[in-house]
Structure 1
Amino acid sequence: MRRADRVNAPPDGVPDGTSHGESISRLLRAWRARVDARTVPELRWAQPRPGPRLSQAHVARLTGVSEGWYRALEAGRRQDFSESFLLRVAEALRLSEAETLTLFLAVCGRRPPAEPAAPREELPAGVRALLAQQVSYPAYLSDGAWNIVAANTLMGEWFPWVLRPGANLMRWTLLHPEAREQMLDWEDSSARVYLAMLRVASNSDPANTELRSLVREILAADADCRRIWERESDVVEHRDGDVFRLRLPYHGNEEVRVTSHVLLPIQRPDLRFVFITPYDG
Protein backbone atom coordinates (compact mmCIF):
# COMPACT_ATOMS: atom_id res chain seq x y z
CA MET A 1 0.00 0.00 0.00
CA ARG A 2 1.31 3.46 -0.88
CA ARG A 3 2.44 5.65 2.05
CA ALA A 4 -0.24 8.12 3.02
CA ASP A 5 0.36 11.55 1.50
CA ARG A 6 -0.28 14.72 3.43
CA VAL A 7 -3.30 16.08 1.60
CA ASN A 8 -5.52 18.80 2.98
CA ALA A 9 -8.68 17.34 1.56
CA PRO A 10 -12.27 18.03 2.58
CA PRO A 11 -14.18 15.47 4.64
CA ASP A 12 -15.61 12.46 2.89
CA GLY A 13 -18.39 13.50 0.53
CA VAL A 14 -17.74 17.26 0.75
CA PRO A 15 -16.70 18.89 -2.54
CA ASP A 16 -13.53 20.95 -2.67
CA GLY A 17 -14.49 24.49 -3.62
CA THR A 18 -10.93 25.36 -4.74
CA SER A 19 -10.63 22.38 -7.04
CA HIS A 20 -10.72 22.50 -10.81
CA GLY A 21 -12.22 19.01 -10.90
CA GLU A 22 -15.60 19.66 -9.39
CA SER A 23 -17.45 17.75 -12.10
CA ILE A 24 -15.38 14.58 -11.79
CA SER A 25 -15.65 14.91 -7.99
CA ARG A 26 -19.42 14.75 -8.23
CA LEU A 27 -19.27 11.82 -10.62
CA LEU A 28 -16.84 9.86 -8.46
CA ARG A 29 -19.04 10.33 -5.40
CA ALA A 30 -22.09 9.21 -7.36
CA TRP A 31 -20.31 6.17 -8.76
CA ARG A 32 -19.03 5.21 -5.29
CA ALA A 33 -22.49 5.66 -3.74
CA ARG A 34 -24.09 3.13 -6.07
CA VAL A 35 -21.73 0.30 -5.04
CA ASP A 36 -22.95 -1.78 -2.11
CA ALA A 37 -19.84 -2.54 -0.04
CA ARG A 38 -21.43 -5.79 1.15
CA THR A 39 -21.24 -7.15 -2.43
CA VAL A 40 -17.48 -6.57 -2.77
CA PRO A 41 -15.67 -9.90 -2.17
CA GLU A 42 -12.41 -8.20 -1.14
CA LEU A 43 -14.21 -6.49 1.77
CA ARG A 44 -15.97 -9.58 3.05
CA TRP A 45 -13.59 -10.07 6.00
CA ALA A 46 -12.87 -6.40 6.65
CA GLN A 47 -13.21 -5.17 10.22
CA PRO A 48 -15.43 -3.53 11.08
CA ARG A 49 -17.72 -5.31 8.65
CA PRO A 50 -18.83 -2.91 5.90
CA GLY A 51 -22.37 -1.73 5.61
CA PRO A 52 -24.07 -0.85 2.34
CA ARG A 53 -22.05 2.35 1.87
CA LEU A 54 -18.71 2.07 0.04
CA SER A 55 -16.41 4.60 1.70
CA GLN A 56 -13.33 6.39 0.47
CA ALA A 57 -11.32 4.16 2.82
CA HIS A 58 -12.79 1.10 1.14
CA VAL A 59 -11.83 2.34 -2.33
CA ALA A 60 -8.33 3.15 -1.11
CA ARG A 61 -8.01 -0.38 0.24
CA LEU A 62 -9.28 -1.89 -3.01
CA THR A 63 -6.87 0.18 -5.12
CA GLY A 64 -3.79 -0.26 -2.92
CA VAL A 65 -3.22 3.41 -1.98
CA SER A 66 -3.58 5.55 1.10
CA GLU A 67 -6.98 7.01 1.91
CA GLY A 68 -5.49 10.48 1.46
CA TRP A 69 -4.34 9.65 -2.06
CA TYR A 70 -7.78 8.43 -3.12
CA ARG A 71 -9.42 11.37 -1.35
CA ALA A 72 -7.27 13.72 -3.42
CA LEU A 73 -8.61 12.12 -6.59
CA GLU A 74 -12.22 12.39 -5.48
CA ALA A 75 -11.66 16.01 -4.43
CA GLY A 76 -10.51 16.81 -7.95
CA ARG A 77 -6.99 17.79 -6.88
CA ARG A 78 -4.29 17.82 -9.55
CA GLN A 79 -1.91 14.99 -8.72
CA ASP A 80 0.28 12.63 -10.68
CA PHE A 81 -2.26 9.82 -10.80
CA SER A 82 -0.93 6.85 -12.77
CA GLU A 83 -2.90 4.99 -15.40
CA SER A 84 -2.70 1.78 -13.38
CA PHE A 85 -4.22 3.53 -10.35
CA LEU A 86 -7.07 4.98 -12.43
CA LEU A 87 -7.74 1.56 -13.91
CA ARG A 88 -7.93 0.09 -10.40
CA VAL A 89 -10.36 2.84 -9.41
CA ALA A 90 -12.50 2.01 -12.43
CA GLU A 91 -12.52 -1.64 -11.40
CA ALA A 92 -13.29 -0.90 -7.76
CA LEU A 93 -16.20 1.41 -8.67
CA ARG A 94 -17.40 -1.00 -11.38
CA LEU A 95 -17.27 1.68 -14.04
CA SER A 96 -18.50 1.09 -17.55
CA GLU A 97 -16.29 1.69 -20.57
CA ALA A 98 -17.80 5.15 -21.09
CA GLU A 99 -17.40 6.02 -17.39
CA THR A 100 -13.75 4.89 -17.43
CA LEU A 101 -13.17 7.07 -20.47
CA THR A 102 -14.72 10.04 -18.65
CA LEU A 103 -12.52 9.43 -15.61
CA PHE A 104 -9.33 9.38 -17.68
CA LEU A 105 -10.23 12.41 -19.78
CA ALA A 106 -11.17 14.45 -16.71
CA VAL A 107 -8.17 13.48 -14.59
CA CYS A 108 -5.30 13.27 -17.06
CA GLY A 109 -6.69 14.47 -20.38
CA ARG A 110 -6.14 11.25 -22.30
CA ARG A 111 -7.94 8.04 -23.11
CA PRO A 112 -7.39 4.83 -21.11
CA PRO A 113 -4.64 2.56 -22.46
CA ALA A 114 -6.01 0.37 -25.21
CA GLU A 115 -6.41 -3.30 -24.45
CA PRO A 116 -4.81 -5.73 -26.89
CA ALA A 117 -7.18 -6.23 -29.78
CA ALA A 118 -8.97 -9.54 -29.63
CA PRO A 119 -9.26 -11.58 -32.81
CA ARG A 120 -12.33 -10.46 -34.70
CA GLU A 121 -14.00 -13.15 -36.69
CA GLU A 122 -17.59 -12.02 -37.00
CA LEU A 123 -18.97 -8.71 -38.17
CA PRO A 124 -21.30 -7.00 -35.69
CA ALA A 125 -24.91 -7.59 -36.68
CA GLY A 126 -25.53 -3.87 -37.12
CA VAL A 127 -22.61 -3.44 -39.51
CA ARG A 128 -23.64 -6.48 -41.54
CA ALA A 129 -27.25 -5.27 -41.69
CA LEU A 130 -26.18 -1.78 -42.80
CA LEU A 131 -24.16 -3.29 -45.63
CA ALA A 132 -26.99 -5.57 -46.74
CA GLN A 133 -29.51 -2.71 -46.65
CA GLN A 134 -27.50 -0.71 -49.18
CA VAL A 135 -29.58 -1.73 -52.19
CA SER A 136 -29.21 1.44 -54.27
CA TYR A 137 -25.43 1.69 -54.36
CA PRO A 138 -22.44 -0.67 -54.35
CA ALA A 139 -20.88 -0.98 -50.90
CA TYR A 140 -18.14 -3.04 -49.28
CA LEU A 141 -16.05 -3.44 -46.15
CA SER A 142 -12.25 -3.68 -46.28
CA ASP A 143 -9.66 -4.13 -43.55
CA GLY A 144 -6.40 -2.30 -42.89
CA ALA A 145 -4.64 -4.15 -45.71
CA TRP A 146 -7.56 -3.56 -48.11
CA ASN A 147 -8.77 -7.15 -48.04
CA ILE A 148 -12.46 -7.29 -48.95
CA VAL A 149 -14.23 -8.47 -45.80
CA ALA A 150 -17.79 -8.27 -47.16
CA ALA A 151 -19.68 -6.72 -50.07
CA ASN A 152 -23.32 -6.14 -50.89
CA THR A 153 -25.06 -7.67 -53.89
CA LEU A 154 -24.69 -4.61 -56.12
CA MET A 155 -20.95 -4.39 -55.46
CA GLY A 156 -20.60 -7.98 -56.61
CA GLU A 157 -22.53 -7.17 -59.79
CA TRP A 158 -20.47 -4.08 -60.60
CA PHE A 159 -17.15 -5.66 -59.62
CA PRO A 160 -17.34 -9.49 -59.68
CA TRP A 161 -13.74 -9.73 -58.48
CA VAL A 162 -14.83 -8.81 -54.91
CA LEU A 163 -16.51 -12.22 -54.69
CA ARG A 164 -13.31 -14.13 -55.44
CA PRO A 165 -11.45 -15.77 -52.54
CA GLY A 166 -8.79 -13.47 -51.11
CA ALA A 167 -10.10 -10.40 -52.93
CA ASN A 168 -7.93 -7.34 -52.24
CA LEU A 169 -8.63 -3.83 -53.52
CA MET A 170 -4.98 -2.82 -53.93
CA ARG A 171 -3.95 -6.04 -55.60
CA TRP A 172 -6.82 -5.86 -58.10
CA THR A 173 -6.48 -2.14 -58.86
CA LEU A 174 -2.70 -2.13 -59.26
CA LEU A 175 -1.98 -5.56 -60.71
CA HIS A 176 -5.02 -6.97 -62.50
CA PRO A 177 -5.27 -6.23 -66.25
CA GLU A 178 -9.03 -5.69 -66.13
CA ALA A 179 -8.59 -2.82 -63.67
CA ARG A 180 -6.68 -0.84 -66.34
CA GLU A 181 -9.58 -1.34 -68.72
CA GLN A 182 -12.38 -0.59 -66.27
CA MET A 183 -10.83 2.30 -64.32
CA LEU A 184 -10.30 5.06 -66.89
CA ASP A 185 -7.15 7.20 -66.61
CA TRP A 186 -5.77 4.30 -64.59
CA GLU A 187 -2.33 5.76 -63.85
CA ASP A 188 -3.40 9.27 -62.88
CA SER A 189 -6.72 8.61 -61.17
CA SER A 190 -6.01 5.23 -59.60
CA ALA A 191 -2.42 3.98 -59.52
CA ARG A 192 -0.84 7.16 -58.19
CA VAL A 193 -3.52 7.62 -55.54
CA TYR A 194 -3.55 4.01 -54.35
CA LEU A 195 0.24 3.90 -54.11
CA ALA A 196 0.12 7.16 -52.13
CA MET A 197 -2.37 5.49 -49.79
CA LEU A 198 -0.02 2.54 -49.37
CA ARG A 199 2.78 4.94 -48.39
CA VAL A 200 0.67 6.35 -45.57
CA ALA A 201 -0.59 2.97 -44.37
CA SER A 202 2.80 1.25 -44.39
CA ASN A 203 4.30 4.09 -42.34
CA SER A 204 1.33 4.29 -39.98
CA ASP A 205 1.43 0.60 -39.10
CA PRO A 206 4.98 -0.72 -39.61
CA ALA A 207 4.14 -3.84 -37.58
CA ASN A 208 1.50 -4.89 -40.12
CA THR A 209 3.48 -7.59 -41.91
CA GLU A 210 0.61 -8.36 -44.28
CA LEU A 211 0.53 -4.75 -45.46
CA ARG A 212 4.29 -4.58 -45.94
CA SER A 213 4.20 -7.85 -47.85
CA LEU A 214 1.47 -6.45 -50.09
CA VAL A 215 3.60 -3.40 -50.93
CA ARG A 216 6.59 -5.61 -51.79
CA GLU A 217 4.42 -7.85 -53.94
CA ILE A 218 2.97 -4.96 -55.93
CA LEU A 219 6.32 -3.27 -56.50
CA ALA A 220 7.98 -6.54 -57.52
CA ALA A 221 5.18 -7.46 -59.93
CA ASP A 222 4.60 -4.24 -61.88
CA ALA A 223 7.07 -1.87 -63.54
CA ASP A 224 4.60 1.02 -63.70
CA CYS A 225 3.97 0.82 -59.96
CA ARG A 226 7.72 0.69 -59.28
CA ARG A 227 8.29 3.77 -61.43
CA ILE A 228 5.55 5.74 -59.67
CA TRP A 229 6.72 4.62 -56.23
CA GLU A 230 10.34 5.56 -56.87
CA ARG A 231 9.71 8.91 -58.58
CA GLU A 232 6.86 10.34 -56.55
CA SER A 233 6.33 11.17 -52.90
CA ASP A 234 2.62 11.97 -52.64
CA VAL A 235 0.74 10.65 -49.61
CA VAL A 236 -3.04 10.15 -49.37
CA GLU A 237 -4.94 8.74 -46.40
CA HIS A 238 -8.23 7.82 -48.10
CA ARG A 239 -10.32 8.34 -51.22
CA ASP A 240 -13.42 9.79 -49.60
CA GLY A 241 -15.11 12.15 -52.06
CA ASP A 242 -12.90 11.25 -55.01
CA VAL A 243 -14.48 10.94 -58.46
CA PHE A 244 -13.86 7.88 -60.64
CA ARG A 245 -14.54 7.33 -64.31
CA LEU A 246 -15.49 3.72 -64.91
CA ARG A 247 -16.31 1.54 -67.88
CA LEU A 248 -17.87 -1.65 -66.59
CA PRO A 249 -19.64 -4.61 -68.25
CA TYR A 250 -22.49 -4.02 -65.75
CA HIS A 251 -23.20 -0.68 -67.50
CA GLY A 252 -22.80 -2.10 -71.00
CA ASN A 253 -19.25 -0.68 -71.07
CA GLU A 254 -20.64 2.85 -71.13
CA GLU A 255 -18.64 5.40 -69.17
CA VAL A 256 -20.03 6.33 -65.75
CA ARG A 257 -18.71 8.76 -63.14
CA VAL A 258 -19.04 7.88 -59.48
CA THR A 259 -17.96 9.18 -56.09
CA SER A 260 -16.55 7.05 -53.27
CA HIS A 261 -17.53 7.60 -49.62
CA VAL A 262 -15.41 6.16 -46.81
CA LEU A 263 -16.79 5.65 -43.29
CA LEU A 264 -15.35 4.00 -40.18
CA PRO A 265 -17.91 1.82 -38.33
CA ILE A 266 -17.67 2.70 -34.64
CA GLN A 267 -18.23 -0.97 -33.75
CA ARG A 268 -15.32 -1.99 -35.98
CA PRO A 269 -12.97 0.98 -36.47
CA ASP A 270 -10.41 -1.41 -37.96
CA LEU A 271 -12.63 -1.66 -41.06
CA ARG A 272 -13.53 0.82 -43.81
CA PHE A 273 -17.15 1.03 -44.93
CA VAL A 274 -17.10 2.25 -48.53
CA PHE A 275 -20.04 2.93 -50.79
CA ILE A 276 -20.16 4.32 -54.31
CA THR A 277 -22.72 6.81 -55.60
CA PRO A 278 -23.32 8.52 -58.98
CA TYR A 279 -21.37 11.74 -59.40
CA ASP A 280 -23.69 14.71 -59.96
CA GLY A 281 -21.02 17.39 -60.41
Structure 2
Amino acid sequence: MTGARADGGVPDPAEDGESISRLLRAWRMRVDARTVPELRGVHPRPGRLLSQRHVARLTGVSEGWYRALEAGRRQDFSESFLLRVAAALRLSEAETLTLFLAVCGRRPPGSPCPAGELPQGVRNLLVQQTSYPAYLSDNAWNIVASNHLMGEWFPWVLRPGANLMRWALLHPEAREQMLDWEDSCARVYLAMLRVAANSNPGDGGLRALVREVLDSDADCRRIWAEEHDVVEHRDGHVFRLRLPYHDRAEIRVTSHVLLPIQRPDLRFVFITPLPD
Protein backbone atom coordinates (compact mmCIF):
# COMPACT_ATOMS: atom_id res chain seq x y z
CA MET A 1 0.00 0.00 0.00
CA THR A 2 1.35 3.43 -0.91
CA GLY A 3 1.38 6.59 1.15
CA ALA A 4 3.52 9.47 2.35
CA ARG A 5 7.12 8.74 3.26
CA ALA A 6 8.22 8.84 6.86
CA ASP A 7 9.90 12.19 6.25
CA GLY A 8 6.60 13.65 5.04
CA GLY A 9 7.62 13.74 1.39
CA VAL A 10 5.57 12.50 -1.52
CA PRO A 11 6.39 8.95 -2.66
CA ASP A 12 8.25 8.64 -5.93
CA PRO A 13 5.91 6.96 -8.45
CA ALA A 14 8.90 5.39 -10.19
CA GLU A 15 9.95 3.72 -6.95
CA ASP A 16 6.73 2.46 -5.41
CA GLY A 17 4.44 2.07 -8.40
CA GLU A 18 1.94 4.64 -7.11
CA SER A 19 1.29 5.99 -10.59
CA ILE A 20 0.30 2.69 -12.21
CA SER A 21 -1.61 1.77 -9.04
CA ARG A 22 -3.69 4.91 -9.33
CA LEU A 23 -4.30 4.30 -13.02
CA LEU A 24 -5.31 0.67 -12.49
CA ARG A 25 -7.79 1.66 -9.80
CA ALA A 26 -9.26 4.36 -12.04
CA TRP A 27 -9.51 2.00 -15.01
CA ARG A 28 -11.18 -0.66 -12.86
CA MET A 29 -13.65 1.78 -11.33
CA ARG A 30 -14.92 2.96 -14.70
CA VAL A 31 -16.00 -0.57 -15.74
CA ASP A 32 -19.60 -1.38 -14.81
CA ALA A 33 -19.51 -4.96 -13.51
CA ARG A 34 -23.12 -5.42 -14.62
CA THR A 35 -22.00 -5.15 -18.27
CA VAL A 36 -19.40 -7.93 -18.02
CA PRO A 37 -20.89 -11.14 -19.51
CA GLU A 38 -18.43 -13.39 -17.64
CA LEU A 39 -19.80 -12.15 -14.29
CA ARG A 40 -23.43 -13.01 -15.00
CA GLY A 41 -24.62 -15.71 -12.66
CA VAL A 42 -21.93 -14.95 -10.10
CA HIS A 43 -23.22 -14.99 -6.53
CA PRO A 44 -23.61 -12.67 -4.90
CA ARG A 45 -24.69 -10.77 -7.99
CA PRO A 46 -22.20 -7.95 -8.66
CA GLY A 47 -23.30 -4.36 -8.43
CA ARG A 48 -21.88 -1.58 -10.51
CA LEU A 49 -18.43 -1.69 -8.90
CA LEU A 50 -15.88 -4.00 -10.55
CA SER A 51 -13.85 -5.33 -7.64
CA GLN A 52 -10.35 -6.70 -7.47
CA ARG A 53 -11.91 -10.12 -6.89
CA HIS A 54 -13.85 -9.77 -10.14
CA VAL A 55 -10.74 -8.83 -12.12
CA ALA A 56 -8.87 -11.78 -10.59
CA ARG A 57 -11.71 -14.06 -11.68
CA LEU A 58 -11.68 -12.61 -15.20
CA THR A 59 -7.93 -13.03 -15.56
CA GLY A 60 -7.66 -16.49 -14.01
CA VAL A 61 -5.44 -15.61 -11.03
CA SER A 62 -5.85 -15.34 -7.29
CA GLU A 63 -7.18 -12.14 -5.80
CA GLY A 64 -3.87 -11.67 -4.01
CA TRP A 65 -1.93 -11.87 -7.29
CA TYR A 66 -4.05 -9.20 -8.93
CA ARG A 67 -3.96 -7.10 -5.75
CA ALA A 68 -0.15 -7.15 -5.93
CA LEU A 69 -0.31 -5.71 -9.43
CA GLU A 70 -2.71 -2.96 -8.46
CA ALA A 71 -0.64 -2.13 -5.38
CA GLY A 72 2.43 -1.64 -7.54
CA ARG A 73 4.41 -4.46 -5.95
CA ARG A 74 7.16 -5.92 -8.12
CA GLN A 75 6.27 -9.43 -9.25
CA ASP A 76 7.04 -11.63 -12.21
CA PHE A 77 3.86 -10.72 -14.09
CA SER A 78 3.65 -12.50 -17.42
CA GLU A 79 2.72 -10.85 -20.70
CA SER A 80 -0.32 -13.10 -21.05
CA PHE A 81 -1.57 -12.03 -17.61
CA LEU A 82 -1.11 -8.34 -18.43
CA LEU A 83 -2.96 -8.82 -21.71
CA ARG A 84 -5.84 -10.46 -19.80
CA VAL A 85 -5.88 -7.52 -17.38
CA ALA A 86 -6.03 -5.13 -20.32
CA ALA A 87 -8.97 -7.05 -21.77
CA ALA A 88 -10.80 -7.24 -18.43
CA LEU A 89 -10.39 -3.52 -17.81
CA ARG A 90 -11.20 -2.69 -21.44
CA LEU A 91 -8.02 -0.73 -21.88
CA SER A 92 -7.28 1.22 -25.01
CA GLU A 93 -4.10 0.66 -27.01
CA ALA A 94 -2.36 3.58 -25.27
CA GLU A 95 -3.52 2.37 -21.84
CA THR A 96 -2.26 -1.14 -22.55
CA LEU A 97 1.08 0.30 -23.62
CA THR A 98 1.25 2.31 -20.38
CA LEU A 99 0.48 -0.80 -18.32
CA PHE A 100 3.26 -2.81 -19.98
CA LEU A 101 5.84 -0.04 -19.81
CA ALA A 102 5.10 0.63 -16.13
CA VAL A 103 5.05 -3.01 -15.03
CA CYS A 104 7.73 -4.69 -17.14
CA GLY A 105 9.41 -1.90 -19.09
CA ARG A 106 8.56 -3.16 -22.56
CA ARG A 107 5.85 -2.85 -25.16
CA PRO A 108 2.99 -5.36 -25.47
CA PRO A 109 3.77 -8.30 -27.74
CA GLY A 110 2.75 -8.05 -31.37
CA SER A 111 2.49 -5.08 -33.67
CA PRO A 112 1.75 -1.88 -31.77
CA CYS A 113 -0.59 -0.78 -34.52
CA PRO A 114 -2.62 -2.71 -37.07
CA ALA A 115 -1.31 -3.04 -40.58
CA GLY A 116 -3.41 -1.59 -43.32
CA GLU A 117 -3.40 1.35 -45.66
CA LEU A 118 -0.63 3.87 -45.28
CA PRO A 119 -1.54 6.89 -43.17
CA GLN A 120 -2.01 9.83 -45.50
CA GLY A 121 0.67 11.85 -43.72
CA VAL A 122 3.27 9.12 -44.27
CA ARG A 123 2.25 8.77 -47.92
CA ASN A 124 2.47 12.55 -48.43
CA LEU A 125 5.91 12.69 -46.82
CA LEU A 126 7.15 9.99 -49.18
CA VAL A 127 5.67 11.50 -52.34
CA GLN A 128 6.79 15.03 -51.50
CA GLN A 129 10.38 13.92 -50.95
CA THR A 130 11.68 15.05 -54.35
CA SER A 131 15.34 15.65 -53.52
CA TYR A 132 16.38 12.10 -52.67
CA PRO A 133 15.26 8.52 -53.39
CA ALA A 134 12.98 7.23 -50.63
CA TYR A 135 10.91 4.14 -49.97
CA LEU A 136 8.88 2.30 -47.35
CA SER A 137 9.51 -1.36 -46.57
CA ASP A 138 7.97 -3.77 -44.09
CA ASN A 139 9.69 -6.02 -41.55
CA ALA A 140 10.57 -8.52 -44.30
CA TRP A 141 11.98 -5.79 -46.57
CA ASN A 142 9.08 -5.93 -49.03
CA ILE A 143 8.78 -2.57 -50.79
CA VAL A 144 5.46 -1.06 -49.73
CA ALA A 145 5.80 2.27 -51.54
CA SER A 146 8.48 4.44 -53.14
CA ASN A 147 8.84 7.94 -54.50
CA HIS A 148 9.47 8.88 -58.13
CA LEU A 149 13.21 9.32 -57.73
CA MET A 150 13.64 5.92 -56.11
CA GLY A 151 12.02 4.34 -59.17
CA GLU A 152 14.42 6.21 -61.44
CA TRP A 153 17.54 5.30 -59.48
CA PHE A 154 16.44 1.73 -58.75
CA PRO A 155 13.79 0.54 -61.27
CA TRP A 156 13.58 -2.84 -59.52
CA VAL A 157 11.40 -1.27 -56.79
CA LEU A 158 8.62 -0.92 -59.38
CA ARG A 159 8.53 -4.64 -60.13
CA PRO A 160 5.71 -6.73 -58.61
CA GLY A 161 6.73 -8.22 -55.27
CA ALA A 162 9.87 -6.07 -55.02
CA ASN A 163 11.98 -7.05 -52.01
CA LEU A 164 15.23 -5.36 -51.01
CA MET A 165 16.94 -8.53 -49.75
CA ARG A 166 16.05 -10.60 -52.81
CA TRP A 167 17.33 -7.92 -55.15
CA ALA A 168 20.49 -7.04 -53.21
CA LEU A 169 21.53 -10.62 -52.45
CA LEU A 170 20.20 -12.63 -55.38
CA HIS A 171 19.82 -10.41 -58.45
CA PRO A 172 22.85 -10.22 -60.80
CA GLU A 173 22.39 -6.47 -61.42
CA ALA A 174 22.89 -5.77 -57.72
CA ARG A 175 26.44 -7.11 -57.92
CA GLU A 176 27.14 -4.77 -60.84
CA GLN A 177 25.53 -1.69 -59.30
CA MET A 178 26.65 -2.09 -55.66
CA LEU A 179 30.44 -1.86 -55.61
CA ASP A 180 32.34 -4.02 -53.09
CA TRP A 181 29.20 -6.18 -53.15
CA GLU A 182 30.43 -8.85 -50.74
CA ASP A 183 31.84 -6.61 -48.01
CA SER A 184 29.62 -3.54 -48.31
CA CYS A 185 26.34 -5.24 -49.18
CA ALA A 186 26.13 -8.99 -48.68
CA ARG A 187 27.78 -9.20 -45.27
CA VAL A 188 25.73 -6.29 -43.92
CA TYR A 189 22.42 -7.52 -45.32
CA LEU A 190 22.96 -11.09 -44.13
CA ALA A 191 23.82 -9.75 -40.66
CA MET A 192 20.48 -7.89 -40.74
CA LEU A 193 18.67 -11.08 -41.74
CA ARG A 194 20.34 -12.87 -38.83
CA VAL A 195 18.93 -10.32 -36.36
CA ALA A 196 15.46 -10.40 -37.93
CA ALA A 197 15.28 -14.19 -37.99
CA ASN A 198 16.12 -14.38 -34.29
CA SER A 199 13.92 -11.50 -33.16
CA ASN A 200 10.84 -12.79 -35.00
CA PRO A 201 11.06 -16.62 -34.77
CA GLY A 202 7.35 -16.97 -35.44
CA ASP A 203 7.41 -14.96 -38.66
CA GLY A 204 7.08 -17.54 -41.42
CA GLY A 205 7.70 -14.96 -44.14
CA LEU A 206 11.06 -13.98 -42.66
CA ARG A 207 12.11 -17.61 -42.24
CA ALA A 208 11.15 -18.31 -45.85
CA LEU A 209 13.15 -15.29 -47.03
CA VAL A 210 16.28 -16.43 -45.18
CA ARG A 211 15.86 -19.96 -46.52
CA GLU A 212 15.37 -18.70 -50.08
CA VAL A 213 18.50 -16.53 -49.93
CA LEU A 214 20.66 -19.32 -48.53
CA ASP A 215 19.26 -22.00 -50.85
CA SER A 216 19.67 -19.82 -53.93
CA ASP A 217 23.20 -18.48 -53.65
CA ALA A 218 26.49 -20.16 -52.79
CA ASP A 219 28.21 -16.89 -51.82
CA CYS A 220 25.46 -16.08 -49.33
CA ARG A 221 25.70 -19.59 -47.85
CA ARG A 222 29.46 -19.21 -47.45
CA ILE A 223 29.21 -15.78 -45.80
CA TRP A 224 26.37 -16.99 -43.55
CA ALA A 225 28.53 -19.92 -42.38
CA GLU A 226 31.67 -17.80 -41.93
CA GLU A 227 30.21 -14.77 -40.20
CA HIS A 228 28.56 -14.24 -36.83
CA ASP A 229 27.99 -10.48 -37.08
CA VAL A 230 24.56 -8.99 -36.41
CA VAL A 231 23.30 -5.63 -37.66
CA GLU A 232 19.90 -4.18 -36.76
CA HIS A 233 19.62 -1.56 -39.51
CA ARG A 234 21.59 0.28 -42.20
CA ASP A 235 21.12 3.80 -40.85
CA GLY A 236 24.25 5.76 -41.71
CA HIS A 237 25.73 2.95 -43.80
CA VAL A 238 27.77 4.15 -46.80
CA PHE A 239 27.42 2.47 -50.18
CA ARG A 240 29.36 2.92 -53.42
CA LEU A 241 27.07 2.64 -56.41
CA ARG A 242 27.36 2.62 -60.19
CA LEU A 243 23.85 3.12 -61.59
CA PRO A 244 22.52 3.57 -65.14
CA TYR A 245 20.66 6.67 -63.87
CA HIS A 246 24.06 8.31 -63.24
CA ASP A 247 25.57 7.02 -66.51
CA ARG A 248 27.36 4.42 -64.42
CA ALA A 249 29.60 7.01 -62.81
CA GLU A 250 30.58 5.98 -59.29
CA ILE A 251 28.70 7.74 -56.48
CA ARG A 252 28.81 7.38 -52.71
CA VAL A 253 25.54 7.46 -50.77
CA THR A 254 24.35 6.91 -47.22
CA SER A 255 21.03 5.51 -46.06
CA HIS A 256 18.80 6.97 -43.35
CA VAL A 257 16.25 4.72 -41.63
CA LEU A 258 13.25 6.15 -39.79
CA LEU A 259 10.23 4.51 -38.13
CA PRO A 260 6.89 6.27 -38.79
CA ILE A 261 5.18 6.70 -35.44
CA GLN A 262 1.81 5.80 -37.02
CA ARG A 263 3.22 2.61 -38.58
CA PRO A 264 6.29 1.46 -36.64
CA ASP A 265 6.03 -1.85 -38.48
CA LEU A 266 7.41 -0.01 -41.54
CA ARG A 267 10.81 1.47 -42.29
CA PHE A 268 11.01 4.87 -43.99
CA VAL A 269 14.36 4.90 -45.82
CA PHE A 270 15.84 7.73 -47.85
CA ILE A 271 19.19 7.82 -49.60
CA THR A 272 21.43 10.88 -49.79
CA PRO A 273 24.58 11.34 -51.88
CA LEU A 274 27.86 12.10 -50.14
CA PRO A 275 30.32 14.74 -51.33
CA ASP A 276 33.06 13.51 -53.63
TM-score, scaled to structure 1: 0.73
Structure 2: segments with no counterpart, 5+ residues: 6-10
C-alpha separation in 1, matches of 2:66 and 2:86: 12
Asked if 1:240 corresponds to 2:220, the answer is no
Q: Which residue of 2 aligns with 1:255?
A: 250
Asked if 1:26 corresponds to 2:22, the answer is yes
Deviation at 1:152, TM superposition (A): 1.2
Three-state SS of the structure 2 residue aligned to 1:269 is coil
Among candidates 145, 162, 167, match of residue 167 of structure 1 = 162
C-alpha separation in 2, matches of 1:231 and 1:85: 42
Among candidates 91, 95, 99, match of residue 95 of structure 1 = 91
C-alpha separation in 2, matches of 1:169 and 1:274: 12
Q: Which residue of 1 aligns with 2:8?
A: none
Which of the pair has more CA radius of gyration? 1
Three-state SS of the structure 1 residue aligned to 2:136 is strand
Three-state SS of the structure 2 residue aligned to 1:126 is helix
Cα distance change on mapping 1:98 and 1:256 into 2, 3 Å: same
C-alpha separation in 1, matches of 2:210 and 2:35: 55
Q: Which residue of 2 aligns with 1:128?
A: 123
C-alpha separation in 2, matches of 1:215 and 1:22: 46
Cα distance change on mapping 1:41 and 1:175 into 2, 3 Å: closer
Q: Which residue of 2 aligns with 1:185?
A: 180
Among candidates 267, 271, 276, match of residue 276 of structure 1 = 271
Structure 1: segments with no counterpart, 5+ residues: 1-8, 10-14
Aligned-pair identity in percent equals 78
Residue type of the partner of 2:181?
W
Deviation at 1:244, TM superposition (A): 1.5
Cα distance change on mapping 1:94 and 1:204 into 2, 3 Å: closer
Alignment of 1:1-281 (within 5 A): 15-17=2-4, 20-35=16-31, 50=47, 71-78=67-74, 86-107=82-103, 109-111=104-106, 113-114=108-109, 120-280=115-275
Q: Report if the CA contact (8 A) 1:16-1:76 is conserved.
A: no
Deviation at 1:222, TM superposition (A): 3.8
Deviation at 1:41, TM superposition (A): 6.3
Q: CA RMSD in A?
A: 3.8
Cα distance change on mapping 1:270 and 1:57 into 2, 3 Å: closer
C-alpha separation in 1, matches of 2:265 and 2:144: 11
